[in-house]
Structure 1
Amino acid sequence: MTVQASELILNPDGSVYHLNLKPENIAHNIIFVGDQYRVSKISKHFDVIRFKTEKREFVTHTGTYNNKEISVISTGIGPDNIDIVINELDALVNIDLESRLPKKDLTSLNIVRVGTSGALHEDIPLDSFVLSAFGLDINGMLHAYQTKTIQHQDIEDAFMKHTNWDPQKARPLIVKNSAFLENKFQSSKTHLGLTVTAGGFYGAQGRVLRLPLRDSGLIDAIASFNFKGIRATNFEMETSAIYGLSKLLGHHALSLNAIIANRANGTFSSDPGQTIENLITYALERF
């Protein structure tokens, strides 16, 4: 079925609307960062950069690192932006933008998030790396799609019972990472865990400034959740959306988290920039 112009919007030059990209502009190995200024901190390691573009918060650099072609794309913050980025990347490789017809032979992208996060346990130290085995969606974005085939409902049910989940909120969804990418990126330097993806930074992650929380005990309940050894390890704002949409569209996805805050003991990294640089180097070498 033809994808209508109102559903897949293209710029006058034929590039996809938000990302400002054409199919030839991207590699099939992609690193996501939230911060647009972090793109150049990764691409500076490339042997050569063959393409650059930017529009709004979406910045893309494509080049080669050790003869491997890689694109780095800034997504901005939050699951709503991930909805834009992954759908438009999939359109670039799996929809013919001229005929607007889905391709018969589909392409799987390798997508690795390199981001920052806050740990929920004292035994996950500052400046360490968490590799997200699962993404726990508590923001509701994935409910726009048919997710039953990618969910882990046994873990979800246990989580809802443990946290006494408010039925007026969206049902939590739990999605596994790509086993293929986990095997490539896991090492003694990474902690495996369940990463909680919130829809906001303050109240959604249990931070209190001046506004009282609807459920003041939720963060402690999340931190104490453990299902057959699977525990909630860290909070951020993109992983579950990346995992869910990638699974549904047939792409491989992994989230690597630089731990720059520890919520359990209230500490923050003394040199978060170096921690991010260490994770960037680690990700590039594993690619």
Structure 2
Amino acid sequence: MSLEASELILNEDGSIYHLGLLPQELANTIITVGDPARVSRISVHFDAIEVKKQKREFCTHTGTYKGKRITVMSTGMGTDNIDIALTELDALVNIDLENKKIKDELTSLDIIRIGTTGSIREEISIGSYIISELALGFDGLMHYYKDDSFLRKDIADAFVEQTNWSSKKALPYVVEGGKDLINKFNSEITIKGFTGTNVGFYGPQGRVLRAAVPDDKMNDKIAGFKFKGHAVTNLEMETSGIYGISKLLGHNAASLNLVLANRPKGEFLENASEMMDNLIKYTLDKIVQ
């Protein structure tokens, strides 16, 4: 049975609705970034670029690095954008767009996030690189999908209990990253982490400028959570969505983040641009190894 036009939406040229991409324009290895400007900072290292497209916040370059075909794409900020981006990436490889039918043989993508984050632990210094083994979603995204078999309910339940999580907020969920990819990118310069994904940058991450938050100790409670050796290391805005949608649809995902801020110490990284370029080059070289 074909998918309805209202569900699988295509542009006039046959490209997928939000991303504006055709299936042949996508590599099976994809780097995602939040900032559209970061796409060219990655693709500048490519041997050649075959595709350059932008629609809304979704800027995409596909090319080769040391002979390996790679797509780098911006998603914008937040798991709402991740839901769009990863669902449409999956559709490009696993749905026959012309006939609007799911393919019999499915393709698994490698999806690697390069992003920035804030540490909630004093011992994780600014300038560190965190690779997320687990993601703790405060965004509620995965509760909109039926299959929750891959979620770590034991950890999420313990987190809710230990932090006295407010029932007014979305129920937290926990999801693992792709172990093979995480092992591929792990090295002596990375820290394996448990990443909390928030729905915003200010109040949801406990930042107060003029608007107060209901629990000014929430970050301390998050940092104090412990369960079977797991402790939350950092906060950002995309990883839980990337890990959740990837698990849901059968893709492999890893999230690498440069620590820009140490929240307990009130510190912020000054040479962020240089450190990000180092992470970009590190990630590209690990992809082709």
Taking structure 1 as the reference length, the TM-score comes to 0.98
1:262 — aligned with what?
A: 262
Following superposition, the deviation at residue 214 of structure 1 comes to 1.8
Counterparts of 2:248 and 2:139, CA distance in 1: 18
Asked whether the 8 Å contact 2:142–2:148 carries over to 1, the reply is no
Asked whether the 8 Å contact 2:152–2:174 carries over to 1, the reply is yes
Aligned residues: 287
Counterparts of 1:282 and 1:123, CA distance in 2: 23
Structure 2 portions without partners, runs of 5+: none
Percent of pairs with identical residues: 53
Cα offsets for 1:175-217 (capped at 9, x unmatched): 0000110121111111111100000000000000111112222
1:197 — aligned with what?
A: 197
**Structure 1 stretches of 4+ moved >3 Å:** none
Amino acid at match of 1:26: L
Asked whether the 8 Å contact 1:258–1:275 carries over to 2, the reply is yes
1:22 has 2:39 as partner: no
Counterparts of 2:143 and 2:215, CA distance in 1: 22
Q: How does 1:31-110 map to 2 (within 5 A)?
A: 31-110=31-110
2:137 — aligned with what?
A: 137
1:158 — aligned with what?
A: 158
Counterparts of 2:173 and 2:34, CA distance in 1: 22
Counterparts of 2:152 and 2:56, CA distance in 1: 35
**Which secondary structure does the structure 1 equivalent of 2:211 belong to?**
coil
Amino acid at match of 1:98: E
Asked whether the 8 Å contact 1:62–1:71 carries over to 2, the reply is yes
Following superposition, the deviation at residue 89 of structure 1 comes to 0.4
1:111 — aligned with what?
A: 111
Following superposition, the deviation at residue 122 of structure 1 comes to 1.4
Counterparts of 1:10 and 1:277, CA distance in 2: 35
Structure 1 portions without partners, runs of 5+: none
Cα offsets for 1:211-241 (capped at 9, x unmatched): 1112222111001112122110110000000
Following superposition, the deviation at residue 159 of structure 1 comes to 0.6
Asked whether the 8 Å contact 1:260–1:275 carries over to 2, the reply is no
Counterparts of 1:17 and 1:90, CA distance in 2: 13
Following superposition, the deviation at residue 256 of structure 1 comes to 0.2
Following superposition, the deviation at residue 251 of structure 1 comes to 0.3
Coordinate RMSD, CA, aligned: 0.8
**Which secondary structure does the structure 1 equivalent of 2:9 belong to?**
coil
**Which secondary structure does the structure 2 equivalent of 1:167 belong to?**
coil
1:4 — aligned with what?
A: 4
Counterparts of 1:147 and 1:258, CA distance in 2: 31
1:244 — aligned with what?
A: 244
Following superposition, the deviation at residue 2 of structure 1 comes to 1.5
2:276 — aligned with what?
A: 276
Taking structure 2 as the reference length, the TM-score comes to 0.98
**Which secondary structure does the structure 1 equivalent of 2:12 belong to?**
coil
Counterparts of 1:20 and 1:111, CA distance in 2: 18
Following superposition, the deviation at residue 147 of structure 1 comes to 3.9
Cα offsets for 1:97-134 (capped at 9, x unmatched): 01100000000000000000001111111111000001
